[in-house]
């Protein structure tokens, strides 16, 4: 049997073991709780970054400097380039073509007096020689008839011949005179035929088409070529009554030759290969009738010496074409200047007849305008109520608000070459 001291010792050991087990059960939860508390405290107490508000830059716009435009309102129109008149060269006599001018080809240029087409002159020379011989014979017959008539008068006066003989001599003399007139007319005709066998240019011009070759036999009336004078071309533009009224007294302007020595009244523009070519022009005349279908006025604009007045917009190649017949051209005619105005892109006119202006404080200002005239690309506005010089906004804004700040694109600065 165990003694009392042994029992006490065993009980003490059991109590110590139970106490240790209970302590272990509380240590692990305490450690977890402490960790969680520390994590929470770290997140709560850590310093927060300062939140900066997002600053949105002002909208970017494109601007164009606008000021009072010089001259008058330029009226726009379009038309096809045509010659002032076109000449059909046709044969007036029949014959064999012996020679054709080397420049008598489509697009060829010739000078006044150049012999364009020659027919074989031999038959015409022979016919003229025969007519001249007949003329000489008729002249001799008339001289003989005159002598007989004079002699008969003397013999009648002496009583040797009757009055009937004098009448016969008178008739013979008249017939001889008529034969001489016919012979002279035939000589004139053969001379004209010989001259017509050589076709000369009536003016300096350009060949539109050619339909003859050496060796061909041509008949009177047959078309041989088409030509037109090279000193002037014309473009006919149709203007509405509103446009036409802006030209003022165009009837007198078109007829006045003095206008040719002043600043051109109009310009003809042709787009060629992406390049705009311009020719000075003037209003030559207004056609006598209004177009019955469109009720428009046909204004004829003349370009003098179009081959000498070529003016490209830049110093590009000198191989640009001259103004050619059949080209489609835009025409700008300088009209009246009713009041000070500015010329702006048509796209810059906003809904409600307004424009957007960038003021000196880089803010948006909205101005109402009075539209004087507009074409496909350009608008003319009165300057009344507008600054004399301003920055016109040509780009779009999603929500334009007067006073909103704007910015323009800064010029790109290139660094030094590497």
Query: 190, 211, 6: which is closest to 89 by C-alpha?
Result: 211
| Contacts by residues 32-35 (CB-CB < 8 Å, ≥ 24 positions apart) | none
Region 86-113: mean pLDDT is 93
pLDDT for 148 equals 81
Residue 288 lies in a domain: yes
Residue 389 lies in a domain: yes
Pairing mode of beta strands 341-345, 378-382: antiparallel
Instruction: Answer yes or no: are the C-beta atoms of 297 and 262 closer than 8 Å.
Output: no
The per-residue pLDDT for range 332-342, each reduced to its tens digit, is 888 888 889 99
Q: Is pLDDT of 26 > 70?
A: no
Sheet holding 378-382, edge to edge: 341-345, 378-382, 371-374
φ, ψ at 410 (rounded to 5°): -75, 145
Q: State CA 304 to chain mean position distance.
A: 15
Q: Residue 398 — pLDDT band, cuts 50, 70, 90?
A: confident
DSSP codes joined into one string, 256-285: -GGGGGSS-SEEEEEEETTEEEEEEEEEEE
pLDDT for 134 equals 92
Which CATH number covers residue 247?
2.40.30.170
Which residue did the predictor score with more confidence, 160 or 368? 368
How many domains does the chain contain in total? 3
Measured over all CA atoms, what is the biggest interatomic distance in the chain, rounded to whole angstroms? 228
Q: Taken in order 35, 37, 39, 45, is the CA torsion positive or negative? A: negative
Rounded-to-integer distance, Cα 284 and Cα 399, Å: 49
Residue 204 lies in a domain: no
Which of 173, 196, 219 is the last residue in one of the domains? 196
Residues 318, 349 within the same domain: no
Which CATH number covers residue 349?
2.40.420.20
Domain span including residue 383 = 61-69+340-408
Region 404-412: mean pLDDT is 74
The per-residue pLDDT for range 257-312, each reduced to its tens digit, is 444 444 458 899 998 877 888 898 988 888 888 888 888 999 999 998 887 655 54
φ, ψ at 171 (rounded to 5°): -65, -40
The per-residue pLDDT for range 313-366, each reduced to its tens digit, is 544 445 567 888 999 999 988 888 888 999 999 999 998 899 999 999 999 999
Which of 290, 313, 334 is the last residue in one of the domains? 334
Which of 145, 179, 196 is the last residue in one of the domains? 196
The pTM assigned to this predicted structure is: 0.66
Q: Quick one: tokens of 377?
A: 């690309």
Q: Is pLDDT of 31 > 80?
A: no
Residues 143, 157 within the same domain: yes
What is the percent of the chain where pLDDT is above 70? 77
Region 171-193: mean pLDDT is 91
pLDDT for 76 equals 87
Residues 236, 328 within the same domain: yes
């Amino acid at each position: 049997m165990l003694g009392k001291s042994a029992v006490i010792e065993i009980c003490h050991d059991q109590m110590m073991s139970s106490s240790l087990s209970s302590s272990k059960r509380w240590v692990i939860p305490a450690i977890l709780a402490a960790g969680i508390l520390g994590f929470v405290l770290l997140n709560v107490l850590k310093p927060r970054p300062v939140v900066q508000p997002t600053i949105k830059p002002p909208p970017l716009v494109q601007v164009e400097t606008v000021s009072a435009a010089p001259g008058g309102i330029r009226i726009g129109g379009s038309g096809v380039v045509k010659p002032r008149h076109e000449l059909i060269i046709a044969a007036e006599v029949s014959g064999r073509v012996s020679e054709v001018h080397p420049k008598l080809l489509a697009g060829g240029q010739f000078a006044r007096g150049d012999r364009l087409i020659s027919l074989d002159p031999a038959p015409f020379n022979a016919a003229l020689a025969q007519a001249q011989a007949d003329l000489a014979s008729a002249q001799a017959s008339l001289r003989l008839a005159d002598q007989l008539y004079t002699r008969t008068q003397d013999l009648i006066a002496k009583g040797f011949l009757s009055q009937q003989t004098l009448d016969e001599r008178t008739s013979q003399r008249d017939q001889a005179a008529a034969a001489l007139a016919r012979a002279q007319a035939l000589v004139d005709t053969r001379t004209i035929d010989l001259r017509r066998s050589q076709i000369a240019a009536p003016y300096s011009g350009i060949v539109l088409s050619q339909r003859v070759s050496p060796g061909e036999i041509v008949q009177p009336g047959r078309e041989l070529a088409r030509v037109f004078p090279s000193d002037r071309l014309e473009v006919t533009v149709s203007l509405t009554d509103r446009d036409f009224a802006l030209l003022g007294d165009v009837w007198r302007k078109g007829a006045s030759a003095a206008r040719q020595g002043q600043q051109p009244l109009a310009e003809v523009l042709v787009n060629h290969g992406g390049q705009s070519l311009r020719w000075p022009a003037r209003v030559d005349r207004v056609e006598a009738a209004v177009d019955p279908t469109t009720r428009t006025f046909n204004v004829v604009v003349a370009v003098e010496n179009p081959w000498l007045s070529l003016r490209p917009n830049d110093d590009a190649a000198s191989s640009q074409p001259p103004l050619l017949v059949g080209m489609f051209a835009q025409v700008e005619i300088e009209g009246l200047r009713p009041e000070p105005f500015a010329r702006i892109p048509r796209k810059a006119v906003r809904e409600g007849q307004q424009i957007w202006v960038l003021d000196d404080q880089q803010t948006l200002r909205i101005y109402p305008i009075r539209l004087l005239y507009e074409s496909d690309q350009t608008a003319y506005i009165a300057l009344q109520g507008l600054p004399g010089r301003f920055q016109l906004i040509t780009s779009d804004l999603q929500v334009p608000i007067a006073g909103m700040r704007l910015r323009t694109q800064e010029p790109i600065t290139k660094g030094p070459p590497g």
